[in-house]
A and B are shown apart, each in its own frame.
Chain A
Amino acid sequence: MLDVTRCFVLLSVLWAAIALIAQVAAARGGGREEYGERSGSPGKGMLHNFTIAMLPWHKETVKHHPGKFAAGVIMHMGVILTLADAVVVLIRPTTGLIDVWSYTRWVVACSLVSGVYLLVRRICSRNLRVMSASEDYVSILATCGLLAFALLRSIDSQYQLIFLAYVGLFFVFLPLGKLRHSVFFFVARGDYGRRLGYRGVYPPTMERMK
């Protein structure tokens, strides 16, 4: 049964990878060239957008909503840890990452709490309700489910199969909804940084930093 589940996970990861690559290619659609004479460096712009520009103190969004931003960061840390845990479980079913470093269980637990908080916030906030579709609630529920099963598996190994099956389902769903931001986050940030770099907006000049 374990082998079947492992196969399912691998196939679902393959599906997600192919679907996401196809989506990025479709979004690119042959690309878009800049014809204006360059006044900066696209590479430096991209680098700035992935580093300095992402620092919390450079973001007004963080300044206004530190708690919500922290909840988002913690939730994503837990998701990354959980997926790494799934990889370890797939390779060595007897031990997961979370079992080896037990403190990581607390990270996943905090991550789950953050996920639940973000779900409740989405339900309660008028602003968020206006811009949300059912999929937004399902996506966050799916993520909370992933974290919950990872925790359960780390506490009781009999949840291992369920955890892996859930990971498989998670990857089946991933390219279909907003969870695809896991890839498009990098694509969008890279694209924006490249354009801002080309036009000399990013990185800010030394004179500006004074």
Chain B
Amino acid sequence: MSERDTDGARIAEKACETLAGSIRGLAAYHLNACVRCGLCAETCHVYQGEPVPENHPGAKVAKVAGYYRKYHTLLGKYAPRFVGAKDLTLQLLDELIETVYGRCTACGRCGIHCSVGLDVAAVIQTGRNVLAAVGKVPEGLQRTVDNQIETGNQMAVPPEELLSTAEWLADDLKVEMGDDDASVYVNQKGKRALYLVNPREVKFFPLSLMAAAGVFHAAGESWTISSKVYDVTNYGFFSGDAQSAAELTRRVVEEAKALAVEEIILSECGHGYRSFRWEGPNWVREEYPVRVRSVLELLDEYIVTGRIKVDPTKNDERVTLHDPCNLVRHGGLSEPQRRVLRAVTRDFVEMTPNRQDNFCCGGGGGMLSMSEYGDRRIASGRVKADQIRATGAKIVATPCHNCADQLLELSKRYDLGVEIRAVVELVYSSLC
């Protein structure tokens, strides 16, 4: 047996093992339920952008189901061709990469509309789990995971850069708010809340972080960020690497304990919310010792309880809201951001469809880290671009930096002429 054959056998064995663990109590139900009726095609933004059979949600499920049937059904073992069962070989694993990473953002929209009620995203995640276990994650996405594990944040921003950014943001904030007590707190022990941010905020969108700091100051919040563990994102979730995802989750919990905070506040990030709020406890297999909330819930609380006063006329232009799939459809957080936007803007309009029925912007599922699928990502965003245009809005608010990056690109490519803003930025600009 050649070295390649031995490697192939080892990889196949690992893939089978991961498949068995990943489907248990989740995807196995859904893989057995799919009748391949084919009605779900148009619910998928990727299919709408490029209507080929390979982009059909049913075809993507069928790819993963082929492996499931081979190792977990009777006919799959003894009559594989009859039921479309497939061996987990190196070549077929390579074919699966494009299906589960390049043709699906695991947004879950097809699942919500499935006539059977299939959780297609869970099936796709199983495919990603298998590929991650055998080291077949697309390079760009894997690099992001590695960055996060090695440096503590996905963009490999050094702690010194965070500290200096926090310093100049604090200076600007003092001037802007006319208050010397306004600050961006870093590594402060005993504060009430630990605020996790997207490294993009530190590197490219510091005004978003400044806006949050400004609102926190106005509300008299006791908060801090950690220079060591501040990343709200979790690319292990996107890649399907549950071990790395669990490790990143554990680090945040440990840091919260070390800083003795009462609550962890997650900045605006769709998958960051889902992965830390919902998947994280499952990865580490225990409940968190502290409360976890999205900053959207906190902003809503500030406004409802009158901790901050806002003036909607300060945001005079028409604003619409893009619902990040992981926050809304997978995370159940759809109303706080709406209450906040209604309070801080004068002309808020909904996209159609919205909330759990929203269309993915095309940038989810780690798609932005995989440049090889860039053209498909832009094509799949056409549905979202049409939705935005139909609202006549000048500003698109989105509580997710991943979505914001994609929407910025869609605005240029589809000539939408809209400004993309975080919700907290609109709250900050409406402060009385």
Q: Which residues of B contact A176 (CB under 8 A)?
A: 73-75
Instruction: Verify B278–A32 contact, CB threshold 8 A.
Output: no
Q: Which residues of A contact B40 (CB under 8 A)?
A: 61
Q: Mark A155-197, 1 if CB is under 8 A from B, else 0.
A: 0000000000000000000001110110011011101110110
Q: Does B39 contact A (CB under 8 A)?
A: yes
Instruction: Verify A135–B335 contact, CB threshold 8 A.
Output: no
Q: Which residues of A contact B14 (CB under 8 A)?
A: none
Q: How far is the CA of A32 from the CA of B242 in the complex (A)?
A: 15
Instruction: Verify B287–A68 contact, CB threshold 8 A.
Output: no
Q: A35-B287, A69-B39 are in contact. Are A181 and B116 (CB under 8 A)?
A: yes
Q: Does B81 contact A (CB under 8 A)?
A: yes
Report the minimal beta-carbon distance from A64 to chain B, rounded to whole angstroms: 5
Interface SS, B side: helix
Q: A32-B24, A40-B332, A199-B330 are in contact. Are A127 and B35 (CB under 8 A)?
A: no
Q: When the two chains form the complex, which single residue of A134, A193, A205 contacts B335, counting CB atoms closer than 8 Å?
A: A205
User: Which of the candidate stretches B2-10, B25-33, B399-407 sits at the interface with the other chain?
Assistant: B25-33
With A185-B117, A189-B33 already in contact, 15 other A-B pairs whose C-beta atoms are closer than 8 Å: A28-B24, A29-B23, A37-B281, A61-B114, A61-B115, A127-B41, A128-B38, A134-B83, A178-B34, A181-B116, A187-B33, A188-B30, A188-B117, A189-B116, A195-B119
Q: How far is the CA of A80 from the CA of B209 in the complex (A)?
A: 59
Report the minimal beta-carbon distance from A137 to chain B, rounded to whole angstroms: 10
Q: Does B53 contact A (CB under 8 A)?
A: yes
Q: Mark B19-56, 1 if CB is under 8 A from A, else 0.
A: 00001111011101111111111110000000001101
B112, closest chain A residue (CB): A53
Q: How far is the CA of A49 from the CA of B249 in the complex (A)?
A: 31
Q: Does B362 contact A (CB under 8 A)?
A: no
Q: How far is the CA of A184 from the CA of B33 in the complex (A)?
A: 5
Query: For chain B residues 267-309, which have a beta carbon within 8 Å of chain A?
Result: 277-282, 284-288, 291-292
A31, closest chain B residue (CB): B25
Report the minimal beta-carbon distance from A181 to chain B, rounded to whole angstroms: 5
Q: Does A65 contact B (CB under 8 A)?
A: yes
Instruction: Verify B33–A72 contact, CB threshold 8 A.
Output: no
Q: Which residues of A contact B281 (CB under 8 A)?
A: 34-37
Q: When the two chains form the complex, which single residue of A29, A49, A181, A199 contacts B25, counting CB atoms closer than 8 Å?
A: A29
Subset of 14 A-B contacts with CB under 8 Å: A28-B29, A34-B281, A36-B287, A125-B38, A127-B53, A127-B58, A131-B38, A131-B53, A176-B75, A181-B32, A181-B34, A184-B29, A196-B332, A207-B335
Interface SS, A side: helix
Q: Does A62 contact B (CB under 8 A)?
A: yes
Q: Which residues of A contact B279 (CB under 8 A)?
A: 36
Q: Which residues of A contact B (CB under 8 A)?
A: 23, 26-37, 39-40, 49, 53-54, 59-62, 64-65, 68-69, 72, 125-136, 138, 176-178, 180-181, 184-185, 187-189, 191-193, 195-196, 199-201, 204-205, 207-208
Instruction: Verify B119–A191 contact, CB threshold 8 A.
Output: yes
Report the minimal beta-carbon distance from A55 to chain B, rounded to whole angstroms: 12
Q: A35-B286, A127-B59, A178-B36 are in contact. Are A133 and B42 (CB under 8 A)?
A: no
Most buried by A among B30, B285, B288: B30
Q: Which residues of A contact B374 (CB under 8 A)?
A: none
Most buried by B among A36, A39, A68, A208: A36
B288, closest chain A residue (CB): A37
Q: Which residues of B contact A68 (CB under 8 A)?
A: 37, 39
Q: Does B206 contact A (CB under 8 A)?
A: no
Q: Which residues of B contact A30 (CB under 8 A)?
A: 24-25
Q: Mark B59-86, 1 if CB is under 8 A from A, else 0.
A: 1011000000000111100000111100
Q: How far is the CA of A145 from the CA of B39 in the complex (A)?
A: 24
Q: Which residues of A contact B34 (CB under 8 A)?
A: 178, 181
Q: How far is the CA of A55 from the CA of B285 in the complex (A)?
A: 36
Report the minimal beta-carbon distance from A59 to chain B, rounded to whole angstroms: 5
Q: Does B113 contact A (CB under 8 A)?
A: yes
Instruction: Verify B29–A177 contact, CB threshold 8 A.
Output: no
Q: Does B111 contact A (CB under 8 A)?
A: yes
A60, closest chain B residue (CB): B113
Report the minimal beta-carbon distance from B173 to chain A, rounded to whole angstroms: 33
Q: A26-B72, A35-B281 are in contact. Are A187 and B29 (CB under 8 A)?
A: yes
Q: When the two chains form the complex, which single residue of A33, A133, A201 contacts B84, counting CB atoms closer than 8 Å?
A: A133
B284, closest chain A residue (CB): A35
Q: How far is the CA of A180 from the CA of B28 in the complex (A)?
A: 12
Q: A28-B25, A39-B332, A204-B356 are in contact. Are A192 and B54 (CB under 8 A)?
A: no
Instruction: Verify B282–A34 contact, CB threshold 8 A.
Output: yes
Instruction: Verify A59–B36 contact, CB threshold 8 A.
Output: no
Report the minimal beta-carbon distance from B257 to chain A, rounded to whole angstroms: 17
Q: Which residues of B contact A132 (CB under 8 A)?
A: 36, 62, 84
Q: Does B138 contact A (CB under 8 A)?
A: no
Q: Does B96 contact A (CB under 8 A)?
A: no
Q: Does B190 contact A (CB under 8 A)?
A: no
Query: Nearest 7 pairs between A and B by C-beta?
Result: A133-B84, A200-B332, A35-B281, A32-B25, A189-B117, A27-B28, A29-B24
Instruction: Verify A201–B25 contact, CB threshold 8 A.
Output: no
Q: Which residues of B contact A62 (CB under 8 A)?
A: 39, 115
Q: A65-B39, A127-B59, A177-B83 are in contact. Are A35 and B285 (CB under 8 A)?
A: yes
Q: Which residues of A contact B112 (CB under 8 A)?
A: 53
Q: Which residues of A contact B84 (CB under 8 A)?
A: 132-135
